[in-house]
Amino acid sequence: MTSVTSSITIQHTTASRINEVDFSNLEFGKYISDHMLVSEYKNKRWSEPIIKPYGEMMMSPAMLALHYGQAVFEGMKAYKMIDGNISIFRIHKHHDRFNISLGRMCMPEVPEELFVNGMHALIETDHAWIPQTDGSSMYIRPHVFASEARLGVKVSEQYKFIIMTSPVGPYFNKPIRVKVEETYVRAAEGGTGFAKCAGNYGGAFYPTQLAREQGFDQVLWTDARDHQFIDESGAMNVMFVMDGKLITPKLTSAILDGVTRDSILTLAREMNISAEERKISIKDLEEGFAKGTLTEAFGAGTAAVVAPIAVINIHGKDYALPEVKPDSIQMQIKKKLHNIRVGLEPDVHQWNYIIPVK
Ligand code: COI
């Protein structure tokens, strides 16, 4: 069946895969929902988007994204609210960041109307895929990649914008072990660290794999110049509670401007929790452990939400954090964030983009 919603053509699947989904065990990214949105950029303009069944696409092995890395994505989430409607969290902030990343990679911006209306129509089409169990949500992956077929090293003149979605559960199932990285580098100032471009992730695989082999879940990246200051954790920003104060590394061009990071800082200040963005050195962490003033550490990201850190390895030594209690700062903020997203608490900042379910 083909239909048209707010001028977007939808080719509905005739073979839904929803019955293949084990909603009680949603491994991150395992299932992709029935439909995807596609728009193509050619002759300096984006085509009318179309929603069609998710599946493989014909592409040239010479397409520039594969060779020179022009590929940018976002990670977002939609939630089923207590009144039955759907909320997409901070759609406009994600759109702004998407365009900032695209700009850094010499790629064309995606107009807000295409991003917002396209996502709205896609989520509406696959709303049955939004999981409803505690801690689960619909992960949304908008992305743009260079599709022009050329081997010359050049900025592509053709791109594809695709949105796909995936029902997901918690990214980590238990508090994680992280290793402060002092050999490898994720991003240097002036580089692409602040952009959500594919290369940042591919480049982190090798050191992360080494850390995994040593029993860690993630790497805690430090600044590229001196390996002295904490940057982020690659899949998420990082936050600490020291002397009762929430602290997180101040943004630089090497750190992703996380939407969850920003939301947590905003909520903390409203909850009268003192929150500070500043340089955080490895020494600060060591001192915090020695004095017992470092009481919490956690990752903050769209996929990870709030991910408690159990152990930080510094210069080869494991430092354990206290067990996370329900009244901890991270759990209080996580709860508040969840309540806002599902409509249990007022959304004073208008972070939720609501899709009414008919
Ligand atoms: C996100 O939190 O959306 C991320 O991009 C992290 C990871 C899944 C790539």
pTM, rounded to two decimals: 0.96
Q: Residues in the chain, how many?
A: 358
Query: What's the rounded Cα separation, in Å, for the pair 294 and 313?
Result: 14
237 Cβ below 6 A of ligand 1: no
Please give the pLDDT value at position 127: 97
Exposure string of 158-174, with b = 16+ CB inside 10 Å and e = fewer, is: bbbbbbbbbbbbbbbee
235 Cβ below 6 A of ligand 1: yes
**Consecutive H or E run containing 93:** helix 91-104
Please give the pLDDT value at position 6: 64
CA of 73 relative to ligand 1 center, distance in Å: 9
306 Cβ below 6 A of ligand 1: no
Structure tokens at 79: 């939630």
Please give the pLDDT value at position 117: 97
Digit-coded pLDDT (tens) for 125-135:
999 999 998 88
Please give the pLDDT value at position 95: 98
Ligand 1 atom closest to residue 28's alpha carbon, by position in its atom list: 8
CA of 290 relative to ligand 1 center, distance in Å: 32
51, 37, 35: which is closest to 3 by C-alpha?
51
Asked if residues 177 and 243 have their Cβ atoms less than 8 Å apart, the reply is no
Q: Whose Cα sits closest to atom 8 in ligand 1? A: 303
Identify the three-state secondary structure at position 28. Answer: coil
Digit-coded pLDDT (tens) for 20-56:
999 999 999 999 999 999 999 999 999 999 999 999 9
Q: Whose Cα sits closest to atom 3 in ligand 1? A: 75
Please give the pLDDT value at position 276: 98
264 Cβ below 6 A of ligand 1: no
Distances (CA, A) of 169 to 96, 120, 178: 26, 21, 21
Ligand 1 atom closest to residue 73's alpha carbon, by position in its atom list: 5
Please give the pLDDT value at position 76: 98
CA of 342 relative to ligand 1 center, distance in Å: 21
Query: What's the rounded Cα separation, in Å, for the pair 281 and 92?
Result: 33
Alpha carbon dihedral 175, 265, 288, 204, in 10-degree steps, equals 60
- Block means of pLDDT (10 residues each) for the chain, 358 residues, are 71 98 94 98 98 97 98 98 97 98 98 98 98 94 98 98 97 96 98 98 98 98 98 96 98 98 98 98 98 98 97 98 97 98 97 94
Query: What's the rounded Cα separation, in Å, for the pair 59 and 233?
Result: 33
Please give the pLDDT value at position 7: 83
Mutate to test the pocket of ligand 1, among 236, 260, 261 (most ligand atoms within 8 A of CB): 236
302 Cβ below 6 A of ligand 1: yes
Digit-coded pLDDT (tens) for 88-130:
999 999 999 999 999 999 999 999 999 999 999 999 999 999 9
303 Cβ below 6 A of ligand 1: yes
Q: Name all domains of the chain by residue range, CATH numbers in brackets.
A: 9-170+351-355 (3.30.470.10), 176-324 (3.20.10.10)
CA of 339 relative to ligand 1 center, distance in Å: 22
